[in-house]
Amino acid sequence: MDRDLESIQEARDLLARAQTAQQAFARTPQPDVDRVIGAMGEATERAAQALARLAVDETGMGRYEDKISKNLFSSVAVRNYILPLKTCGVVREIPEAKVRELAVPMGVVAALVPTTNPTSTAIYKALISVKGRNAIVISPHPRATKCVIETVRILREAIHSAGAPEDLVLTLTMPTLEATNELMRNKKTAVILATGGSPMVRAAYSSGKPAYGVGPGNVPAIVERTANIRKAVADIVAGKNFDYGLLCSSENSLIADRPVEKEIRSELTRQRALFVTGPDRDKLQRCMQDPHSGGISHEVVGLPATEIAQRAGLSVPGDTRVLVVECKTVGPGEFFSREKLSPVLAFYVEDGWEECCERAIELLTFGGLGHSLSIHSTDETVIQRFFEEKPAFRILVNTTSTLGAVGYTTGLAPAMSLGPGTWAGSVTSDNITPLHLINIKRLAYEIRPFVAVDAPGERANEQTSERGTDVPVVPAFNRSTVPSDDIAKAVEAFLAERRIRKRA
C-alpha cells in the first residue's frame, strides 16, 4: 500500500479505537477521572528530561533546558490547575432559575502538534482532553514523530495503570497531509485542537468540524518611559532567548519610548543582546529568509543566536543571547517585522506611549492580531488604556510575554494553546482548558407558565381552568389580530394573578 493510503487507514483505525475507548470512559465519575489525570501528569513529570532530549535531538530546534521547563509546565502546572475543575456530572445548579447543568464529553479530539513544542503540547492536549472524558488522536509534525510517539507511550502506560482504557490517547505513527486531513474530517472526530503554521490552522477551520485554532503571535513588547528599564529589558531578552524563540507568545519586537532609548540600548548590551547593523543586517536577512516564500527559513527556526550568526557569516561574541535588528517600518517590505521563531528581535523607537501603541497595532495587524502584547510601565493610566483599546487578548504587564501569556509567570490559565479570538478568526480568545472540551447539557423546569390568549370568537383556552389561581401565567399577544381592549383585559388579569395593583 502507498504511504499516503496507509496513513489514511491508520487515521481511521485510530479514530475507531479512540471512539470505543471514549464511549467506555464517558460515564466515569470525577474522582476516577482525576486519578487518571494525576497518573498521566506524574508519569510525564518523571520523563520530562528524557522527552526534552528526544525533542531537541529529533527536531534540531530549541534549548534542552527550556524543553524540560515546558514539559514540566504541561505535566505539573497544567495538571495542578485542571485537577480541581469540575468536568463530570452536575457542574452547576441555579435554584432560583430551576436549572441544572450537566457536563457531557465532546467525544474524540483531533490534535495537531507542532514541531516547535512537540512533547509539551502533546502532554498538555492529552491532559485537557482526558480531563473532559474525551479521547484524543494526535497528528504530530513529521519532524517530531518519534518524540511524540514516546510521549504517548508514557501517557498510555499511566492511563492503563490508573484503570482506564489506554486508547484514550493515541497518535499517528506515519503522519502525512492526507492522514491529518482524514483525522480532521472523519465523522468520528468531534472537535479539533490545531496548533501550528497558518496553513494547517486554516485547514482545521475549513474541515467542517468545530475547531480551536492557534496561529502566529508576533508579540510586541513596549518599554514605556516610566518602566523599570533593567527588569523590562531582562524580561524581554530572557523571553526571546527562551527555547530560542519557539513559543508563539515570544517577544518579536521591542518598542522603545524615546526618552529611555539610550538606557534601553545600554541594558540590551549588558544582557548580551547584540545589535546587527549595516551589511551584517543584510547578511542576516539573507540567511533567515526563505527565498521561495519570503518568510522565515526552517533552517534557522529554534537555533541559538550564535549559530544563526555563524550561518549568516557574522562574527559575534560566543555568549550572545539575542540578535537585535533596528527597524523603521512594518509589513512585507520589512522582513524583521514578522514572527521570527528565533532569538532575533526587531527594535523600534517611538516618542510617547501613544506612538508606541500605534506601532504595536501595526505589528499585531501584520502578523499577530488578537494574540498577545506586553507593556513595561508603572503608569496605571497607560496600562489601563492598553487593556481597553489594544487589539490583543492578553495584555501582559511587567513580565516576559513568552511565559506570561501561557500562565507561567501570571495568573492566566496554564495552557499551550492560546486563542486569538474572532479578530484572528478563532472562536475563542481564551487559554484553552478542559472546560473548552465539554458540552453542557441543561435541565430546565417551568418557572413562568405560558397561557395563550384566544382571539375573539375562539373557544376559551382550556389551560386557564386547569391552573390554580395562584399560578402566574404569561399571556401571548399577536397585535395584528388581538383588539386593544382584549389586550387590556389580559394585562389586568395577569397583574391580578401576580397580585400587583396598578398605580392610581
Q: Is 356 a catalytic residue?
A: no
Give the DSSP letter of residue 214.
Answer: E
| From 88, 248, 356, 357, the catalytic residue | 248
Could you say which DSSP state residue 41 is in? H
Q: Is 192 helix (H, G, I), strand (E, B) or coil?
A: strand
C-alpha cell at 87: 468536568
User: In angstroms, rounded to a whole number, what is the distance separating the alpha carbons of residues 114 and 32?
Assistant: 31
Place of cell 540578535: 323
Q: Euclidean distance between the first and final Cα of the chain, in Å?
A: 87
Task: Say how far apart CA 236 and CA 91 lie, in whole Å.
Answer: 40
| Cα distances (angstroms) measured from residue 165 to each of 105, 128, 161, 231, 407 | 16, 16, 10, 48, 30
- CA 177/CA 415 separation, integer angstroms: 26
Of all helices (H) and strands (E), which one includes residue 340? none
Rounded CA separation 442/28 (Å) = 19
C-alpha cell at 425: 478568526
**3 state DSSP class of 150:** helix
Beta strand residue intervals within 364-459, DSSP E? 370-376, 392-397, 438-444, 450-451
Closest to 48 in 3D by CA, of 77, 24, 11: 77
Q: Which residues are catalytic?
A: 248
